[in-house]
Amino acid sequence: MSGSTFGELFRVTNFGESHGPAIGCVIDGCPPGLALSEADIQPDLDRRRPGTSRHVTQRNEADAVEILSGVFEGCTTGTPICLVIRNTDQRSKDYANLLDTFRTGHADYTYWRKYGHRDPRGGGRASARLTAPMVAAGAVARKWLRLAHGTTFLGWMSALGEIPIPFEDAAQIPLNPFFAPNAGIVPRLEAHMDALRKAGDSCGARIEVRAANMPVGLGEPLFDKLDADIAYAMMGINAVKGVEIGAGFGAVAQRGSEHGDELTPAGFASNHSGGVLGGISTGQDLVVSLAIKPTSSIRLPRRSIDRLGAPTVVETHGRHDPCVGIRAAPIAEAMLALVVMDHALRHRAQCGDVAHDVAPIAGAAPSVAPAGARGRE
Amino acid sequence: MSGSTFGELFRVTNFGESHGPAIGCVIDGCPPGLALSEADIQPDLDRRRPGTSRHVTQRNEADAVEILSGVFEGCTTGTPICLVIRNTDQRSKDYANLLDTFRTGHADYTYWRKYGHRDPRGGGRASARLTAPMVAAGAVARKWLRLAHGTTFLGWMSALGEIPIPFEDAAQIPLNPFFAPNAGIVPRLEAHMDALRKAGDSCGARIEVRAANMPVGLGEPLFDKLDADIAYAMMGINAVKGVEIGAGFGAVAQRGSEHGDELTPAGFASNHSGGVLGGISTGQDLVVSLAIKPTSSIRLPRRSIDRLGAPTVVETHGRHDPCVGIRAAPIAEAMLALVVMDHALRHRAQCGDVAHDVAPIAGAAPSVAPAGARGRE
Amino acid sequence: MSGSTFGELFRVTNFGESHGPAIGCVIDGCPPGLALSEADIQPDLDRRRPGTSRHVTQRNEADAVEILSGVFEGCTTGTPICLVIRNTDQRSKDYANLLDTFRTGHADYTYWRKYGHRDPRGGGRASARLTAPMVAAGAVARKWLRLAHGTTFLGWMSALGEIPIPFEDAAQIPLNPFFAPNAGIVPRLEAHMDALRKAGDSCGARIEVRAANMPVGLGEPLFDKLDADIAYAMMGINAVKGVEIGAGFGAVAQRGSEHGDELTPAGFASNHSGGVLGGISTGQDLVVSLAIKPTSSIRLPRRSIDRLGAPTVVETHGRHDPCVGIRAAPIAEAMLALVVMDHALRHRAQCGDVAHDVAPIAGAAPSVAPAGARGRE
Amino acid sequence: MSGSTFGELFRVTNFGESHGPAIGCVIDGCPPGLALSEADIQPDLDRRRPGTSRHVTQRNEADAVEILSGVFEGCTTGTPICLVIRNTDQRSKDYANLLDTFRTGHADYTYWRKYGHRDPRGGGRASARLTAPMVAAGAVARKWLRLAHGTTFLGWMSALGEIPIPFEDAAQIPLNPFFAPNAGIVPRLEAHMDALRKAGDSCGARIEVRAANMPVGLGEPLFDKLDADIAYAMMGINAVKGVEIGAGFGAVAQRGSEHGDELTPAGFASNHSGGVLGGISTGQDLVVSLAIKPTSSIRLPRRSIDRLGAPTVVETHGRHDPCVGIRAAPIAEAMLALVVMDHALRHRAQCGDVAHDVAPIAGAAPSVAPAGARGRE
């Protein structure tokens, strides 16, 4: 099928370009009866929104979402939910030269080679602005999962460039512009960013994201494993170059006697698996880590070519995030929620009537939401 | 859709269990007119086959593939190709206790929680044996891609446990049981494995896989990016816990001025992107890295529970790979080939008539196979 | 996948309710480089639009379409095209009683049983108003097919209730409110409708739709046959109860010696097949016929029940089409175009490099659009 | 996606050719815990099997099905079920001339134009033999639906050529070779067939198929309506040229006051809708009717062309059904069961927790199977 749709049963079709009239998405397959209004979605969009600190792009977008369909009298009806966000602060009058030149590290060249015709304004379809509809759709999934299963999602920055950010306190995450779970390190992060901006350069970041209170049993073992779909979702976020589940690349140097999580009547004794065994959720927290590359748009001069193949030099002035990873935590949360939501429905479809003759281990949540279990907070 | 199918247009549906009568797959959507026989598939299966050195499981399977459909007079007809591999060396008479106990680090617990009923013999559906049909399907994709685009795939081991394996010589890869591109390090790898086996433990591995002579323009930028689909494919291989494209997690500490690959009239000046920009192939080599966890089946005692929730201890005797990563290179090659194949057809569907008014950069291959371009070697 | 998306490669996701803020669709997978503006779409919407004669609903909707994405400088970019039509003439203030009562012959009861919660205003999601986005998407497909293959689509009414409408002159179709290819019969049709309106009743209709200049070779023989997908598309139009291809139900009483279309060097000698053999297009005209049921909303009293299960009587006053078939011809054309468009891309994906060593029969069009073949009229 | 897969959640991928080594299918998404063995499938295959009366092809195939995967200790595990039927009575040694000539009314010409290369032996992929795997998959769906919802399926012949077959007694259907619900008419049908055979000609047929004890609420209203998917399934059966739901083409001449089924506290007062309103099941019987064209392979000479485009004459001798409709009833039952099964799972996925605050009308079955509701007879 065409590529702009995410998910099989909770399906999100993303549309729009950075400087077009609007961006948005259509969510198809949302369960009916979920209380939903713009107020459920806007807070997540606001967390991702540009222009909120000096460390991110100064583009000023309200990112106000409008629900065009699928909700009646404050509840979802089960029909497609169209969410639209109007673009308001485009400054794209002068893009003629962008059409002719391929910016280094950007999708300009590949779009041109693929499609022959592209919208170059503000990065067009390849802009990180298109993560806003992902966040909006994720907010709907998050609400349903919270009400039906108690599942919650939390992302944070665990490294800014070469600076690791030790996890200290989740309560700090919303209190600084870096989504850092550590108040003490914030001044150092700010100094790092200020220096980068001054140098006209950019840096990468590492993001962690977790899901807690996970239903057991989600995932299709071959090929649509829960971890495979998480990897797809995360690698699909702009600028992501690596994805880990649980021990991740650390597992290479582990022994089996260390990595394998022992089971006890009280539950698992560790979580090297990151909450997935054989592609199916264990009920432990999902543990995911992402590598985000440094922003490609920098002020320093870079060699490139134009459409005629002639050499040229690109220096990017304008409004850009010197570290795109700074705003990535809410995006990663949203994408993880979309994966879990889709698999919750897929699991209910196939296994909604599975009954165990023996009690599962302590603390494991039911994997299928009971009738009438959600929709009212 | 249900989870056992890989790909959208070149679709591979995998079936079977480790100790059932047979495993196999159905490939739907293969272009017609491709010369194909079992002899095109068997060599890749043989590279993955168990029992070929003392460092892998001693299960003795011929892994002989049979083509049941979709080929007439030695050429594909465009209709579904069913490939079957009979299981011959199952030793599963005594699995009653497996039904009651969940092996540590395995999918036993999650399958039971998901389905309520599972085939425990040899790991059932969760066995790495199910990678054989992936390799078989990959061989078909590889042949088409080689003839139509000249694209080739190569995988190797880049670390065995904590031992890094420097890349020295691709010609060495098929000459040692580790798929190591380095003859000198083989004795050290053998000693490492012998010590592990003696200790009753296991270790992880790191695998690199590349595609060369890539068509430009493959990938659907949002959400079905080429790199997102690669991440999905790789994380879906048994025991994989991390995936990197290009610079991967190294990109976190890079500057934008280092990471962004400059363009020159002679092509790209570096390949930190790993061959994908904005989700679309650049024409450079695809560069992918995988983390593989240590084998869960070890001789050392591990705590677990039984179906009644009572504590128990599991020690796994029998035939197992002490490092599942050893046989992973051909699997990773096959999965990468399946991703590229699917996107080659998807690209042709949408963009088969794109014409550029200006010549592309030097050395870039055409992204759509010309009429009559393949099928005859 | 969720149900509101039509097509595999040219994918149309429909959203909206009759009395919500807007209806529309997202087209994903459209080939890039197609010249496109609202002016290409509006004429087809205007043909379907309500309020254009006394024989259809008097709801007054401009049905003005806005392109929100996927088009840059007048050409498609290959990214999703979002089309929005604002609803302007809703009169839904007083729908409280509709929520409690199930109108006879409508989807009220089934939506309530399926979803538990529904938008009853103007029929909500089940309204024929949702065919407008189908027509809009169809206009895009039609333009591409016309430019790439010369394929054109024409629908007309062949029976109004018990009155058959002999085909006389295609030029008459746009000149009367019934899409009747026969000027002489129009007064009789008008009298029929006037009598129905007076009686407070409604009637059915029969619609024919054809595609000319069809590419040969479209259709996946098992299961996504071209005729199977046409049947799906047509039966999915509101109020359709039957679909025929070619000879249709007339084939039951035919002999094989009569039905089978003989082949000659000059082409097929007849077209009982309706342009499809073995699920694949022959290159002859596609010939499709639909049965449309009488409008369910009538003034005559009908027995029904309310949500408590108590008996009630429903009489529908308000703005309704006394024969929904009257506006069905452009809808059927659009749906047929969407099927052909999707299969044209699917065929190019799998068989884009098929070369025949022998010339096909006279007059058959090429089935894969050549490079640069479209986009400029 | 590629075309050989039927269904979204209960997915059946069909493979094989008439004279290849085997035909079969892979069922993915079957709920776990369903008691299943070959004995559940064989009876339906036997009803469809060739060679059982003088009125059908004399090809002698045991059609013995083998389960290769997905079942352990007599119960489905939720993993893919591969069903294989070996071909045993192929007589295809002499097919060279078939490769060069296109048989009238067959898919020979269209396959050649689409794929450039085809298996001509016994019709290859286009043979009605490929309905056997559909029947096998349908048997699995039927068993689950019967146990979970009590739903049953029944098909019969309602016309043989120009002879209508009045419905008298369902008990007669298995007692004659025509699936005729009417003992008295059988001699006339036999005489008709004998005359046809003597004349070297063939005839069409009309088939009715119904589902009883239908769950309410199945169907995705736009586009994947239950009736749209039924139309797709039925038109996809070999030789079908028309599909009706409920009143079908009879609805054209009905008035709204006649067609619309009134609701009473005791249920619907009629069933012109055929069990579907707004694309969603009402809980009444599904009522479907098919037109099947006369067999194309006849002894009478027919004009055709060869691959060089030269005129030729085809006379088909060999083993063929003079009325392919005779064996169509079990196929139509199977396809209807596959549609209902898929929608039962899709409904449970999205609406599995819908709770109504008011009791539904009398006699309506629950639409979601309760936990532990099936698997044991």
Q: Is A5 on the interface with B (CB under 8 A)?
A: yes
The pLDDT value recorded for residue B88 is 86
Choose among D342, D101, D331, D338: nearest CA to D239.
Answer: D331
pTM score: 0.96
Contact flag D9-A350 (C-beta cutoff 8 Å)? yes
Instruction: Identify the band that residue A53 occupies on the pLDDT scale cut at 50, 70 and 90.
Output: confident
The H-or-E segment that residue C326 falls in is: none
A154 three-state secondary structure: strand
Q: Is B39 inside any structural domain?
A: yes
Q: Which whole-number Å values give the CA distances from D276 to A80, B172, C314, D64, in the listed order?
A: 21, 65, 20, 36
Characterize the bridge pairing of strands C240-245 and C267-268: unpaired
Q: Is A375 inside any structural domain?
A: no
Q: Which whole-number Å values give the CA distances from C338 to A288, C6, C49, C138, in the listed order?
A: 40, 8, 19, 6
Q: Alpha-carbon distance D165 to D167, whole Å?
A: 6
> C49-74 pLDDT, tens per residue?
877 788 877 777 788 999 999 999 99
The pLDDT value recorded for residue B371 is 55
Over chain B, what is the mean pLDDT? 91
Q: B25: nearest CA in chain D?
A: D26
**Mutating which of B28, B34, B82 best tests the D interface, going by the most D Cβ atoms within 10 A?**
B82
Q: Indicate the residue of C205, C260, C297 with minimum beta-carbon distance to D296.
A: C260
More confident residue, D162 or B58: D162
Instruction: Answer yes or no: is pLDDT of B375 > 60.
Output: no
Chain length of chain A: 377
Q: Is D122 on the interface with B (CB under 8 A)?
A: no
Please give the torsion angle defined by the CA atoms of residues B250, B251, B252 and B256, in that order, rounded to the nearest 10 degrees: 140
More confident residue, C366 or A134: A134
The pLDDT value recorded for residue C327 is 92
Contact flag B9-C349 (C-beta cutoff 8 Å)? yes
Instruction: Answer yes or no: is pLDDT of C256 > 70.
Output: yes
**Mutating which of C131, C235, C316 best tests the D interface, going by the most D Cβ atoms within 10 A?**
C235
Tell me the chain D residues in contact with residue C258 when contact means C-beta distances shorter than 8 Å: 294
The pLDDT value recorded for residue A54 is 82
Q: Is B373 inside any structural domain?
A: no
The H-or-E segment that residue D133 falls in is: helix D131-149
The β-bridge partners of A356 are none
The pLDDT value recorded for residue C235 is 98
Lowest mean pLDDT across A38-42, A47-51, A178-182, C223-227: A47-51
Q: Is C50 on the interface with A (CB under 8 A)?
A: no
Q: How many domains are there within chain B?
A: 1
Q: Which of the 8 DSSP states describes residue A36?
A: -
Instruction: Identify the band that residue D377 occupies on the pLDDT scale cut at 50, 70 and 90.
Output: very low
**Mutating which of B149, B350, B357, B367 best tests the C interface, going by the most C Cβ atoms within 10 A?**
B350
Average pLDDT over every residue of A79-94? 84
Q: Is B376 inside any structural domain?
A: no
More confident residue, B322 or A264: A264
Side-chain-facing half-sphere of C225: CA atoms under 13 Å: 31
**Residue C107 domain boundaries:** 5-364
Q: Is A102 inside any structural domain?
A: yes
Contact flag A253-B204 (C-beta cutoff 8 Å)? yes
The β-bridge partners of C156 are C208
Q: Is A371 inside any structural domain?
A: no
Chain length of chain B: 377
Q: Alpha-carbon distance A15 to A24, whole Å?
A: 6
Q: Is D8 on the interface with C (CB under 8 A)?
A: yes
Tell me the chain B residues in contact with residue D29 when contact means C-beta distances shorter than 8 Å: 2-3
Domain harbouring B167, CATH code:
3.60.150.10
Instruction: Answer yes or no: is pLDDT of B313 > 60.
Output: yes
More confident residue, A169 or B355: A169
Chain length of chain D: 377
The pLDDT value recorded for residue B266 is 92
Q: Is D15 on the interface with B (CB under 8 A)?
A: yes
Tell me the chain B residues in contact with residue D127 when contact means C-beta distances shorter than 8 Å: none
Q: Is B374 inside any structural domain?
A: no
Q: Alpha-carbon distance C98 to C119, whole Å?
A: 9
Tell me the chain D residues in contact with residue C130 when contact means C-beta distances shorter than 8 Å: 222
Q: For the purposes of burial, counting CB atoms within 10 Å of the CB of D63, is it exposed (0-12), middle (13-18) or buried (19 or more)? A: buried
The pLDDT value recorded for residue B376 is 43
Helices C328-351 and D108-115, axial angle in degrees (round to 10): 60
The pLDDT value recorded for residue B55 is 82
Tokens 């996701």, residue located: C13
CA angle C200, C195, C331 (to 5 degrees): 80
Task: Look up residue B60 and give its two tokens.
Answer: 């003795």
Contact flag C13-A80 (C-beta cutoff 8 Å)? yes
Q: Alpha-carbon distance C247 to C234, whole Å?
A: 16
Instruction: Answer yes or no: is pLDDT of D256 > 80.
Output: yes
Helices A328-351 and B108-115, axial angle in degrees (round to 10): 60
Q: Is A118 on the interface with C (CB under 8 A)?
A: yes
Choose among C174, C177, C173, C199: nearest CA to C189.
Answer: C177
Lowest mean pLDDT across C279-283, C362-366, D199-203: C362-366
Q: Is A281 on the interface with C (CB under 8 A)?
A: no
Average pLDDT over every residue of D135-153? 98
Tell me the chain B residues in contact with residue C29 when contact means C-beta distances shorter than 8 Å: 349-350
More confident residue, D123 or B289: B289
The pLDDT value recorded for residue A243 is 98
Instruction: Identify the band that residue A376 occupies on the pLDDT scale cut at 50, 70 and 90.
Output: very low
Task: Look up residue D66 and give its two tokens.
Answer: 């083998």
Share of residues in chain A with pLDDT > 70 (%): 91
Tell me the chain D residues in contact with residue B23 when contact means C-beta distances shorter than 8 Å: 69
Q: B15: nearest CA in chain D?
A: D80
Q: Alpha-carbon distance D351 to C13, whole Å?
A: 20
Phi and psi (nearest 5°) for D69? -165, 170
Task: Look up residue B103 and give its two tokens.
Answer: 């092996």
The pLDDT value recorded for residue C163 is 98
Instruction: Answer yes or no: is pLDDT of C7 > 60.
Output: yes
Tokens 């046409």, residue located: C230
Tell me the chain D residues in contact with residue B348 when contact means C-beta distances shorter than 8 Å: none
Q: Is D372 inside any structural domain?
A: no
Tell me the chain C residues in contact with residue B8 when contact means C-beta distances shorter than 8 Å: 8
> C102-160 pLDDT, tens per residue?
999 999 999 999 999 999 888 899 999 999 999 999 999 999 999 999 999 999 999 99
- What is the SS3 string spanning chain B? CCCCEECCCCEEEEEECCCCCEEEEEEECCCCCCECCHHHHHHHHHHHCCCCCCCCCCCCCCCCEEECCCEECCEECCCCEEEEEECCCCCCCCCHHHHHECCCCCCHHHHHHHHCCCCCHHHHHHCHHHHHHHHHHHHHHHHHHHHHHCCEEEEEEEEECCEECCCCCHHHHHHCCCCCCCCCCHHHHHHHHHHHHHHCCCECEEEEEEEECCECCCCCCCCCCHHHHHHHHHHCCCCEEEEEECCHHHHHHCEHHHHCCCEECCEECCCCCCCEECCEECCCCEEEEEEECCCCCCCCCEEEEECCCCEEEECCCCCCCCCHHHHHHHHHHHHHHHHHHHHHHHHHHHHCCCCCCCCCCCCCECCCCCCCCCCCC
